[in-house]
Chain A
């Protein structure tokens, strides 16, 4: 089956610094990638949708200047949390969709971000 990787799996950073999270589709071309955030004991919240070669579409309430998304190739999307604050501490999950199927979405293992 399709595999999506994320790196790093865990990261601790200081308040005010920036953190980059990578999401890669290992054995298929991902035309669309999604970034989710999940706070403890809550469901996944879609942050943004990115299509290769175009600007990401952000959900309402998500600051595009704070959460920079780059989908430069069909196998790689990055999420950069700029000027991180403790309230940005969360579990960030990416997923990727390839081809014409609307419902085949493959999830990465997630990245646990802790901002101190």
Chain B
């Protein structure tokens, strides 16, 4: 079967850097996504990794290690608007999305 683990909640300070980790187990893999979701809104796409390594996009970077079943989302220069839930999402061998429970990120001034 498939399983996704990520911390339930994290707290960070405005202007700082935070890393949100995600570990997964799956029998088939077609990529890993990170989504951001503000309360009461639909998720918005942040990143997609299918090969090992780091993908950088502005203040956000995402890393993948397929052999370790591990990914992280790195947020730099944190802003108050970054307070949201961050969802680690696996795409399985059937191209179906398996959603993690999400990490609620709280940014403090």
**Interface set of A (CB-CB < 8 Å, partner B):** 42-46, 91, 93, 102-103, 105, 107-110, 112
Contact = CB atoms under 8 A, between A and B. Distances in A.
Given A103-B31, A103-B33, A93 B100 contact: no
A102 B101 contact: no
A43 B102 contact: yes
A110 B41 contact: yes
A105 B97 contact: yes
Contacts of B43: 44, 93, 107
12 contacts: A44-B99, A46-B96, A46-B97, A46-B99, A102-B91, A103-B31, A103-B33, A103-B91, A103-B95, A105-B97, A109-B41, A109-B42
A48 to B, nearest CB: 12
Contacts of A102: 30, 91, 95
B21 to A, nearest CB: 16
Contacts of B42: 93, 107-110
B87 interface: yes
Nearest to A110: B42
A42 B104 CA distance: 11
Contacts of A105: 97
Q: What range describes how many residues of B lie at the interface?
A: 10 to 19
A70 to B, nearest CB: 21
B105 to A, nearest CB: 14
B104 to A, nearest CB: 8
B95 A43 contact: no
Contacts of A42: 101
Interface in B30-57: 30-31, 33, 40-44, 48
Interface in B54-109: 87, 91, 95-97, 99-102
A76 B102 CA distance: 29
A58 to B, nearest CB: 13
Most chain A beta-carbon contacts within 10 A, residue among B31, B91, B99: B99
Given A107-B43, A109-B41, A109-B42, A43 B101 contact: yes
